[in-house]
Chain A
Amino acid sequence: MLAKLGLDGHDRGIKVVARMLRDAGMEVIYLGLRQSTDSIVAAAEQEDADAIGLSMHNAGHLTLGPAMLAALDDAGLDIPVVIGGIVPEPDVAVLTRAGVAAVLGPGASAEEVVATVRRVVGRR
């Protein structure tokens, strides 16, 4: 399940990722722009999502990433979260420690994207 969390409207990357995953044989649920942690939790429950992908380009990841994890935790959902977008190297470690399953940086290839999703889903 792919979503843009918060106000950031940069959706080029997430749409490309949606197609990469589709072309790898996955079913991708695209929630679109301006999602809240609540709307993502509700959708994840109804869709029985295997993994959640969030795309962030506005330097909000250190706030929004942990907020997403906390919301899933509150709902009792154990679903891996992958963050893609502009995330500086030191923040990757912070996010990973916080429980984000993987971070995909700019320029990640289709193979990397697909392999990462397979890996985090397989770990469940």
Chain B
Amino acid sequence: MFETVSGVPVDPVYGSGPLPGEYPFTRGLHPDGYRSRLWTMRMFAGFGTAEDTNARFKELLAAGSTGLSTAFDMPTLMGRDSDSPWALGEVGRAGVAVDTLADMEDLFAGIDLGAVSTSMTINGPAAILLAMYIAVAEGNGVARADLAGTIQNDILKEYQAQKEYIYPPRPSMRIVTDVVRFTTAEMPKWHAISISGYHIREAGSTAAQELAFTLANGFAYVEAALAAGENIDDFGRRLSFFFNSHVDFFEEIGKFRAARRIWARWMKERYGATDERAMMCRFHTQTAGVSLTAQQPEVNIARVATQALAAVLGGTQSLHTDSYDEALALPSDTAARIALRTQQVLAHETGVTNVVDPLGGSPFVEWMTDEMERRAEAVFAHLDELGDGSMLEGVYAGIDDGYFVGEIADAAYRFEREVNANRRIIVGVNDFTDGNDDADPGLLRIDQTTEEYQRKRLDAVKTDRNQAEVEAALARVTADAVDSTTNLMPSIIEAVKVYATEEEIAMALESVFGTHVETAIV
């Protein structure tokens, strides 16, 4: 029974026209929205050593969670081992450190990988970490076909915004495509790419740019997969998106609604999808980390709540809510719990889950949705022209020429100037600053000994392994990299199984693919 807190019964949906669950899905992917299934409350976690994070995972599972979401530390994200000079000061700090299969075994020790779904936020070295995950599962007797989860594997936005790339765009795209083809063939429950606007927005873009750049990247992946001979209805169903939910409430809702409509239209009309599931823009949402203030951090709870509400009214499939202390440090247990409780309040107390797309039909919300779409289409037209009719080439050209980074830097600076001129008020920053001198809440401190511990552990693994096997496996990775018709996944899986390190494999690929230096647009 769905009724208000006062006992007024409500219908699942109001209004006419294409309803939720109907193409082009502006109003939502499913006819009964959150009535039959709430969004997934997926909280991102990872810090310190694999054992530390494993303990956190087990707590989350014991509390009833069925999905894990892994944050890796910066060296792991960049394909570097914990003993690399580049890793200095960053081992285990912003996520968990993984150097070899041994760390991955510890990370998932005692967890039935056939029963959980795991999301791994990694891009440049995505193929290597996926290979490790498969190797852990197979070592425990779980077939790769039974593994469920998502690997971010969205390299394009790295060049545009997050900057965690290793190789130049074109060879990186081959790795992405190899992962897509491998999972499509062998891992039916796995999502091969999570096309992410989150980082584009965090880097300073506007809502319309986030929408446009993200979907353009999506089109680029589709074109790359089509060029590799994949069937659009097969892999189209396995693509998912990841958006930011920022401070401007209705703009965000318009953005989410426009994303579904644009994706459905392009998949159907431009790329010829026939299966509706391949036209559906499924997305995860995270509240805007960049909107959190270090001043009066508790106020962030209110920001996160309104951003989360926008994501829910926009119809997200899953949601991560930021912790109020994240402008100061990694989340403390208390702060992370409050963030999760915020979602539970929305889901169970507010009644917003009773009606699908409750804002649909509002003249303002419909106009904002159309406006977001118009602005995105203008960007698509520009990229299409840059690429001479190919969105893939257009995105490459935009990366090479600094189009994306320039647009994002301009938008970020415009925002900053508005705040500086007090044309835009941020509570606690340029107004309402009483209370700014209050003591900070208790913050999580990362153990400074992690780095030392992790290096010793890596040394031990290197001593124990069969060096000849490692060298042979790495030589095969290099050979497969040279031959662009060979899928890289099998040789990478073999290499991780003989305990080649992440960096060794990444460098074997780099010896063929080279490195990337950003276009200097400041």
A residues bordering B, Cβ < 8 Å? 6-12, 15-16, 18-20, 28, 30, 32-34, 36, 58-64, 67, 86, 88-89, 105-107, 109-111
Contact = CB atoms under 8 A, between A and B. Distances in A.
B88 interface: yes
Contacts of A109: 419-420, 430
Contacts of A28: 522
Nearest to B205: A12
A67 B443 contact: no
A12 B429 contact: no
Contacts of B295: 107
User: Which size bracket describes the interface of B in this complex?
Assistant: 35 or more
B85 A12 contact: no
Contact of B86 (A6, A9, A59): A6
Given A59-B94, A62-B89, A7 B412 contact: no
13 contacts: A7-B74, A12-B290, A16-B412, A19-B409, A20-B416, A36-B86, A59-B94, A59-B330, A60-B90, A63-B451, A86-B294, A86-B329, A107-B429
A9 B88 contact: no
A65 to B, nearest CB: 9
B294 A107 contact: yes
Contact of A64 (B88, B94, B440, B451): B88
Contact of B522 (A18, A88, A105): A18
Contacts of A61: 89
A12 B203 contact: yes
B74 A8 contact: yes
Looking at B85, B90, B448, which has the most chain A CB atoms within 10 Å of its CB? B90
Nearest to A112: B420
Contacts of A32: 517-518, 520
Contact of A59 (B290, B329, B426): B329
B163 interface: yes
Contacts of B204: 12, 16
Interface of B: 74-75, 77-78, 80, 85-90, 93-94, 162-164, 202-204, 290, 293-295, 327-330, 408-409, 412-413, 416-417, 419-420, 426, 429-430, 440, 443, 446, 448, 451, 517-518, 520, 522
A88 B329 CA distance: 7
B202 A12 contact: yes
Contacts of A59: 90, 93-94, 329-330, 446
A8 B204 CA distance: 17
A87 B346 CA distance: 32
Contacts of A8: 74, 90
A9 B330 contact: no
A88 B443 CA distance: 9
Given A12-B204, A107-B293, 4 more contacts: A15-B522, A33-B163, A36-B85, A59-B329
Looking at A62, A63, A111, which has the most chain B CB atoms within 10 Å of its CB? A63
B89 A88 contact: no
Contact of A88 (B85, B290, B440): B440
Given A7-B74, A88-B443, A105 B294 contact: yes
